[in-house]
Structure 1
Amino acid sequence: MKELHDIVTAFDKATALGKQTALATVVHVEGSSYRHAGARMLIADDGELTGAISGGCLEGDALRKARLAMAQNRPMLVTYDTTDDDDAKFGVGLGCNGIIHILIEPLSTNNDNSPINLFKLFLGRRRPVVIATLFSLKDKKKEQPGTCLLLSDDEFIANEFPDEIVKNAVIDDAHYVLRNGNSVTKAYSYDAEFTCFVELLQPAVSLVIFGAGNDAIPLMNFAAVLGWQVTVVDGRANYAVSGRFPTAKVITAKPDQALPLLTFDDRTAVVLMTHNFNYDMAMLKQLLPLQLTYVGCLGPKKRLNRMLNDMRDEGVEIITDQLENVYGPAGLAIGSENADEIALSILSEIQAVLKKSVAVSLRNKTFIHDRADQIIKQAL
């Protein structure tokens, strides 16, 4: 969610300087493209860009289209067809071999339910939300409704819809996406045809690192680049110092004091790397019943096995389900040797686990992204 944070921050700065802005969103992709549906970019009238909708090939043309949308003060749907070998006719060297549909929405500070304000609501709390964006692929000259809905487990905000039947259908789909966790694109036909991109936004990953040694620093640094929220916990006050971990929340606590100071959810990953066997074992004993999405243990497998055996000797009951999300040694096998490389392997494994993905070389895949996600489902 780092891109959304950057977009919101850039919008506030641009507004303070009196700049006009527009939001460009990739709403649908057919075939291959650098970014898929949900990619966003903030465009200021002076040409400043925040975020990305492509690998750099669309941004210049999108800026020209955004200035027109801002001048007309109405959303605009722009399509780039790069399946033609002669894509230079667009004035952009695309070469992606796909069709990319981008919705450009002028932004106003007077609209309480503008996309930026909806993003702020999402970023202000740790819970998943669904954002719905309505547009017309059939008639690009038609008025494009744009970002029209935010739904969470305790919040509902809707803008104006073309009609109540479409609105109710989109709301039903938003509830479905919130329950099942997969974004969808649907076409709605009622008097006129609209397409809706119903997108699930997940909170930033929360990474809890137990251990404030030097090898925890690159783990924090890499996670910060990804926009993850990092907490570092250690019982040693001379190690758990904010100056050593400037982008993290730092907690000094013994094992029996740590858990009440932390909050866990299904977007939380934990790494045990204090290099103190008893500390790591004490934390693992408390973490196992929580059945978190990812618990990584630094060190060889025999170290983890010894922890588990010692816990059993103490009478701790360990069930198989509790071990499914424990990864020891932590990290992917990418030939890591030093602290930076180990940090990279651990974060890569966490990313794969959270995305429920198997780490393979992209050259061994037919498609980078699942093409089934590009199919527009019919509704109504």
Structure 2
Amino acid sequence: MPDHYRQLLEKMPAVLATVVQIKGSVPREVGAKMIITETEIFGTIGGGAGEAKVIRQALEVLATGEKQWVEIDLTGAPQRETQGICGGIMQVWLERWDSDRYRSLIQQILTKLESGQTVSIVTPFNAEQFPYLSRDCPEQAFIETIEPAPTLLIVGAGHCGIELAKVANLIGFQVIVQDDRANWANVDRYPNAKIFNTPIDETVNQLATHTQLYAALVTRGYQYDLAALKALVDRPIPCRYIGMIGSEKRVRQVFQSSEISREKLRSIYAPIGLDIGALTPEEIAISISAELILVRRGGTGRSLSQSLRMID
């Protein structure tokens, strides 16, 4: 979703088409977006004749500036014009984004998301009003809550950290790497990550507003694990996930040496990752990333073929 707003910022004037209501079986969900300019289209609201109808009306909105509703009828009803036979109906709101007011709003949205905060955008269905940020929704408006992308804080910039950063970036995490060794934690070794060479408590404080923070401790020694655990479990906004690499012996030593309560220690994933027999840094990175997906999306962690194998 943030990519749509970045594109709007770069492509104004443009029409933002947003699915705001659905009924029955339809190809896209509420909140799905498409951007239409005079020469380009970004995103999709489902394709086919329905999307073509939206594009035609969006070009009118682009020319006139007058906001419009578009109904996409996918019922296949024989007595009226329809755009498909999926079975449902979509209501799409078209609005031209074309001024400093809209640019300012987009910058606010992106700034909040990049600082790890949730954003609620209100789009009034009124010719005289403009979209704005708020959690309060008037009757004639569409309110949309956008969560920031999950952030993975990798504590420790060694071999496992390098591979984990690659895989985490691939699965949609914003990656932050913390290590006091600048010759280990730098943009050359971690080109797709934000780098912190500050102490771990200072790093965690700078991430205080992040609501979707995951942390993977792949440090070079248990004293660094202790410092990281203390900083992370004391966050006012709890981490979605804290995992710590190491053998069971090392994990027990860290836990016994810490002053963290048993209740909080039970929430830590240690040893980190799913048991897939991983040995190399690359395999360990995949094991950890699989656990991150499990925590983020939900799941059992078992083989998908397990139920079929039990069939006689």
2:54 pairs with 62, 79, 83, which one?
62
Distance across 1 between alignment mates of 2:71 and 2:203: 49
Deviations 1:12-43 (A, max 9, x none): 4334xxxx411011212223445422222222
Distance across 2 between alignment mates of 1:80 and 1:360: 40
Q: 2:261 is matched by which residue type in structure 1?
A: I
- 1:228 positional shift: 4.1
The answer (yes or no) to whether the contact 1:272–1:296 under 8 Å persists in 2 is yes
Question: Pairwise mapping of residues 106-255 of structure 1 onto structure 2 (< 5 A)?
Answer: 106-109=96-99, 112=101, 114=102, 116-125=103-112, 126=115, 127-135=117-125, 148-151=131-134, 171=136, 173=137, 188=139, 194=140, 196-224=141-169, 228-253=173-198
Question: Pairwise mapping of residues 1-380 of structure 1 onto structure 2 (< 5 A)?
Answer: 3-4=1-2, 6-15=3-12, 20-46=13-39, 48-54=40-46, 56-57=47-48, 59-84=51-76, 95=86, 97-109=87-99, 112=101, 114=102, 116-125=103-112, 126=115, 127-135=117-125, 148-151=131-134, 171=136, 173=137, 188=139, 194=140, 196-224=141-169, 228-253=173-198, 257-262=199-204, 263=206, 264=208, 265-274=210-219, 276-290=221-235, 291-299=238-246, 303-311=250-258, 316-320=259-263, 322-323=264-265, 325-331=267-273, 338-339=283-284, 341-352=286-297, 357=298
- Secondary structure of 2:234's counterpart equals helix
Q: 2:14 is matched by which residue type in structure 1?
A: T
Distance across 2 between alignment mates of 1:360 and 1:76: 46
**Residue-pair matches, total:** 289
The answer (yes or no) to whether the contact 1:218–1:343 under 8 Å persists in 2 is no
Distance across 1 between alignment mates of 2:249 and 2:28: 42
**Which has the higher mean CA deviation after the structures are superposed, 341-350 or 329-338?**
329-338
The answer (yes or no) to whether the contact 2:8–2:97 under 8 Å persists in 1 is no
Q: 1:151 is matched by which residue type in structure 2?
A: S
The answer (yes or no) to whether the contact 2:200–2:227 under 8 Å persists in 1 is no
- Secondary structure of 1:305's counterpart equals helix
Q: 1:251 to 1:26 in 2, by over 3 A?
A: same
- 1:331 positional shift: 4.4
Q: 1:108 to 1:336 in 2, by over 3 A?
A: farther
- 1:11 positional shift: 2.7
With the length of structure 2 as denominator, give the TM-score of the two structures: 0.75
With the length of structure 1 as denominator, give the TM-score of the two structures: 0.63
Q: 1:99 to 1:306 in 2, by over 3 A?
A: farther
Distance across 1 between alignment mates of 2:189 and 2:156: 12
Q: 2:119 is matched by which residue type in structure 1?
A: V
The answer (yes or no) to whether the contact 1:76–1:144 under 8 Å persists in 2 is no
The answer (yes or no) to whether the contact 2:18–2:31 under 8 Å persists in 1 is yes
RMSD (Å), alpha carbons: 3.5
The answer (yes or no) to whether the contact 1:133–1:197 under 8 Å persists in 2 is yes
- 1:345 positional shift: 0.8
Q: 1:144 to 1:220 in 2, by over 3 A?
A: farther
| 1:165 corresponding residue in structure 2 | none
The answer (yes or no) to whether the contact 1:222–1:343 under 8 Å persists in 2 is no
Distance across 2 between alignment mates of 1:347 and 1:296: 9
Distance across 2 between alignment mates of 1:298 and 1:252: 20
- 1:243 positional shift: 0.8
Q: 1:241 to 1:7 in 2, by over 3 A?
A: same
Distance across 2 between alignment mates of 1:324 and 1:84: 54
| 2:310 corresponding residue in structure 1 | none
The answer (yes or no) to whether the contact 1:22–1:70 under 8 Å persists in 2 is yes
- 1:146 positional shift: 7.4
- 1:218 positional shift: 4.5
Distance across 1 between alignment mates of 2:289 and 2:21: 32
Between the aligned residues of both structures, percent identity stands at 28
